[in-house]
Amino acid sequence: MVQPVARVTVAPKLPPQLSRLRELTYNLRWAWDHEAISLFRRLDPELWEATGHNPEWMLGRLSQARLSALVNDTSFMAHYARVCRSVDDYMRADESWFAAKYRQGERPPTIAYFSMEFGLTECLQNYSGGLGVLSGDHLKSASDLGVPLIGLGILYQEGYFQQVLNADGYQQESYPINDYVNLPLRLQLDEQGQPIKIAVPLPGRELYAQIWKVQVGRVALYLLDSNIDDNAWEEDRNLTDRLYGGDRRTRIRQEILMGIGGVRALRTLGINADVYHMNEGHSAFLLLERICDFMRDDSLTFEQASALTAASSVFTVHTPVPAGLERFDFALIDEHFTDMMRELGLSREQFLDLGRENMGDYELFSMSVMALNLSSGTNGVAQLHGAISREMWRWVYPNVPVHEVPIGAITNGIHVQTWVSQEMAQLFDRYLDPAWRHEAARDEVWEGVNSIPDAELWRTHVRRRERLVAFARARLRAQLLRRGVSQTELETADEVLNPDALTIGFARRFATYKRATLIFYDLERLRRLVVDSDRPLQFIFAGKAHPHDHQGKELIRSIINVARDPDFRESIVFLENYDMNVARYMVQGVDVWLNTPRRPKEASGTSGMKVIYNGGLNCSIPDGWWAEAYRHDIGWSIGNGEEYREDEWAHQDYVESQALYNLLEQDIIPLFYRQSRDSLPREWIRRVKRSIRRLAATFNTQRMVQQYTDDFYMPRYRVSQQMRSADFHPTAAFVDWQRHLEQVWHEVSVLDVAVEAGDVEIGACTQIQASVALGQLCPQDVKVQLYFGRLDSSGQICNGQSVDMRVLGQNGSGAYTYETDYTYSRTGHVGFSVRVLPYHAFLHSSFLPHKIVWA
């Protein structure tokens, strides 16, 4: 290799009439606009596929003759003008959901959304799976809704990895280099045309990174790249090579770059974010950088800066599996944060306390614990996951009933326009309220599903299944060619799968708890289903195992080996290198989406949601999102949500595999093949319509982003603005209140609770009083609550509820008397208690660690 002495970027030469083509490529709105995608495909269909659906790369490879011919193509030019008008209308639209709801008289906030990965489109390989696709869908819906949000992450030179299966079916990884010049992103330059760079501290040196921008509709995404000559150390240049690659030192430095470097990047770009949203704990070091900024720039104390940082920080937890959390050895913290400890004015122990987690025989620094300690809003990503998260983190909030631990839940969703097929979208356009495209979270827009003729809905779905089968055959043939199989085996690829057969899809990360091979538990029973010529059944699998997950790789190999059995060869296919393109074909074409995680280890899952909008149905363990979505007449539940101990997992696999086979034999297969006289599976179609009508308005990112905005972004923005006002005096007063609370909280006690004893009838009302000593606190500093609920078999209040009690005044002893009325609304044993919690208008929750007093 020869080091160049000069570098020149060569851009395609477009005719003036097509000058906006490059502009279109650099706004990824095209990734969820069927009309724009059709335009790019029309430029050169073969080149569109060869470039991996990358319009920027494709433009660079188009011949001038082809471009000139397009100018003279009246139909193409009309299509081009139509797409340009659509983009212009979208970008300058003043009326958005956010503008209509929030811009009356107040400055809109800027929300900074940090994520380790972003899945926006298959040509930008900056994601590994569900977390990244969710982040990408979050940005797209923020754009559609007009939410003033900015994304921030890392740009990976090699992305995650490309999956190749060897002759034995064992996964191998390759890491092709992403050529940024041929991707739809732009390097950010200063006024002199030089790359804008930031620096973050590493031991003994600075780490430098440049900033790339991806335009996602109205939303900007900034990505950091350390592969630049300013970094003298090769390991620093290689830091942004791979997503989830390297050792623990590499990981902590990537997270330092994203968290600390991300805040510095926004500041360098002149962007003043008001609220910071951490999507998982990878970016939590941004909290420390923000505290340092407040201390340095605004002369705040550590306590004041951390209070203001917490007030404007939101944290989303994603994993219900403790082993999947991001933790670091104290030695790595010492290596990288000794200088920051001094800057923050903290001792080593005080700094470690920010993220300290006891692991039994040892302690680690937990990014999740730090995020919990320094954020005001925390949520899980499904209702069940919220409950699991409250159980996981209850130790942070001692004496708080587990169901009241301040971790909420905002269920994930999907960006409908990205994942719905063009054919299904056209069907919706004909029969639904046109608002389904931009107001997907409204129940009313989906009521028109009932008016879609069964025959049209079925034909539309069948066409997508046929396309999936054609895609799978072509993909399988390419896989076999790479493996160098015989001509005979190669020819069988053209005969796999039946475009008319019941098709079940399974695609996701191949972690062991997802149990990809549960369907193979009893091969002879499965064989009888697959070889039934009257009611054929077939499966399409896809997904990657982490490069270091050898158990996950073995699962893939076992599927490949089963698929080689003569009875299964034409009915079971594994598609290599799962990405957003493969995912689209699968969710748009399968009849049933199968999901078999070991409950409750699935945080949410979103693949099954994508099937809803494409006329497919779900069959899943009731875990993640399906635990709250499932109804008996819209899909199938494998089991009833039972949970098993680890020593019972073998028994669990047996029980749930049998339940799955029973569903297939007795319900799914008969229902699919039960046709009326006009050859339509009428009851199946009714189930599809019910699934769309009941679920479509809920499981989309439009509803999700609206909920984040209403529940977190705007409340946190308004509180933090109040705290910043009057030269930060409200912040100083709040910290003084917190300090005073810490000093005198031990004086608080519940002296007496008066409840009328004896048997009562349902509907009776009673008055309950409590005498509460507040010490040096005042009634406005606390909430005194009656806590009540039914008693369990051990005499404990189970899943209690609370109501604020009203203060009547001080009694003769100086304590305060509180009272409330209670109406007995149910029979049985009812228990009562009284508790005292701190209260301040700036608190997101009154549940603070070690700040709860019970009677």
Looking at residue 301, its pLDDT comes to 97
Question: Does residue 293 surpass a pLDDT of 80?
Answer: yes
Model confidence at 33: pLDDT above 90: yes
- Per-residue pLDDT, averaged over 15-20, amounts to 94
- 477-503 per-position pLDDT tens digit: 999 888 888 887 788 888 899 999 999
3-state SS class at 186: strand
Residue 185, both tokens:
């992103």
Average pLDDT over residues 532-543: 96
Residue 483: the pLDDT is: 85
pLDDT in tens, 785-835: 999 999 988 889 988 999 999 999 998 888 999 999 999 888 888 899 999
Q: Half-sphere exposure (CA, 13 Å, Cβ side) for 446? A: 21
Mean pLDDT, residues 117-141 taken together: 96
- What does the pLDDT average to over 758-771? 88
Q: What is the pLDDT of residue 11?
A: 63
> In this structure, how many other beta carbons lie within 10 angstroms of the beta carbon of residue 148?
22
The residue count of the chain comes to 855
Q: Is 207 left (phi over 0), alpha (psi -120 to 50) or beta?
A: beta
Predicted confidence (pLDDT) at residue 120 exceeds the cutoff of 90:
yes
If you average pLDDT over residues 830-849, what whole number do you get? 93
Please say if the pLDDT value at position 337 is more than 80: yes
Quote the pLDDT of residue 852: 96
pLDDT average, residue stretch 697-711: 98
Residue type, 538: Q
Task: Give the pLDDT confidence score for residue 10 in this predicted structure.
Answer: 62
pLDDT for residue 315: 98
Q: Which DSSP category does 194 fall into?
A: P
796 Cβ neighbours under 8 A, 6+ residues apart: 831
What is the structure's pLDDT at 3? Answer: 65
Three-class SS state of 19: coil
Which residues does 546 contact at the CB level (< 8 Å), separation at least 6? 244, 509, 511, 552
First to last CA, the chain: 76
| The predicted structure's pLDDT at residue 660 | 98
Task: Band the pLDDT of 9: cuts 50, 70, 90.
Answer: low
CA dihedral 72, 76, 82, 83 (to 10 degrees): -110
Distances from the Cα of 792 to the Cα of 800, 818, 841, angstroms: 11, 27, 35
Section 519-530 average pLDDT? 97
Peptide bond just before 838 cis, omega within 30 deg: no
pTM value is 0.96
Q: Is the pLDDT of residue 5 over 70?
A: no
pLDDT of residue 7: 63
Provide the pLDDT confidence category of residue 320 given band limits of 50, 70 and 90: confident
Exposed / middle / buried, residue 24 (Cβ in 10 Å: 0-12, 13-18, 19+): buried
So what's the pLDDT on residue 558? 97
Give the model confidence (pLDDT) of 171-210 as tens digits.
999 999 999 999 999 999 999 999 999 999 999 999 999 9
Digit-coded pLDDT (tens) for 579-615: 999 999 999 999 999 999 999 999 999 999 999 999 9
**Mean pLDDT, rounded, for 355-371:** 96
Nearest to 155 by CA among 193, 190, 187: 187
166-203: b (≥16 Cβ within 10 Å) or e: eeebebebebeebeeeebbbeebeeeeeebbbbbbebe
Instruction: Return phi, psi of residue 108, to 5°.
Output: -70, 145
Sole residue written with tokens 């539309």 = 460
Residue with the two structure tokens 């160098």 = 484
Whether 671 has a pLDDT exceeding 90, the answer reads yes
- Interior CA angle at 403 toward 325 and 396, to 5°? 45
Evaluate the CA torsion angle 492, 494, 495, 501 in order and state its sign: positive
Answer yes or no: is pLDDT of 635 > 70: yes
Q: Report the chain's mean pLDDT, rounded to a whole number.
A: 95
Contacts of residue 123, Cβ cutoff 8 Å, sequence gap at least 6: 51, 52, 53, 54, 57, 183, 184
Q: Is the pLDDT of residue 6 over 80?
A: no
- Mean pLDDT, rounded, for 744-749: 96
Buried b (16+ CB within 10 A) or exposed e, 262-280: bbbbbebbeeebbbbbbbb
**pLDDT number for residue 1:** 61
Q: How far is the C-alpha of 844 from the C-alpha of 800, rounded, in Å?
A: 21
For range 217-237, the mean pLDDT = 97
Q: Taking a C-beta distance cutoff of 8 angstroms, is the pair 131, 318 a contact?
A: yes
- Stretch 348-371: mean pLDDT, rounded? 96
